[in-house]
Amino acid sequence: MTKYWLPAGLVSLASLLAYFYLIGQGQWFTLLQFAGGILLVFAELLLPTLGLLALAGGLLIFLALQAVTPSWQAASFDLMVASLVAVLTFYILVKLGYRLPITNRLVLKHSLGQAQAKMAEQNELKSLLGCQAQVYSDLRPVGKIILADGQVLEARSQADMLVTGQRVIIIAIENGQLIVRGDH
**Residue 154 pLDDT class (50, 70, 90 cuts):** very high
Better-scored residue on pLDDT, 175 or 113: 175
Better-scored residue on pLDDT, 13 or 147: 147
pLDDT tens profile 42-60 = 888 888 888 899 999 989 9
Better-scored residue on pLDDT, 102 or 39: 39
**Residue 34 pLDDT class (50, 70, 90 cuts):** confident
**Residue 24 pLDDT class (50, 70, 90 cuts):** low
Better-scored residue on pLDDT, 97 or 143: 143
Concatenating the DSSP letter of every residue in the chain gives: --TTHHHHHHHHHHHHHHHHHHTT---HHHHHHHHHHHHHHHHHHHS--TTHHHHHHHHHHHHHHHHHSSSHHHHHHHHHHHHHHHHHHHHHHHHHT---TTHHHHS-S----HHHHHHHHHHHHHTTTT-EEEEEE-BSSEEEEEETTS-EEEEEESSS-B-TT-EEEEEEEETTEEEEEE--
Which pLDDT belongs to residue 29? 82
Query: Mean of the pLDDT values across residues 57-82?
Result: 83
**Residue 164 pLDDT class (50, 70, 90 cuts):** very high
Domains for the chain: give ranges and CATH numbers.
Answer: 4-96 (no CATH), 118-182 (2.40.50.140)
Q: Is the pTM of this model over 0.85?
A: no
pLDDT at 69 over 80: no
Which pLDDT belongs to residue 116? 67
Which pLDDT belongs to residue 53? 93
pLDDT at 73 over 70: yes
**Residue 7 pLDDT class (50, 70, 90 cuts):** confident
Better-scored residue on pLDDT, 129 or 18: 129
Which pLDDT belongs to residue 50? 87
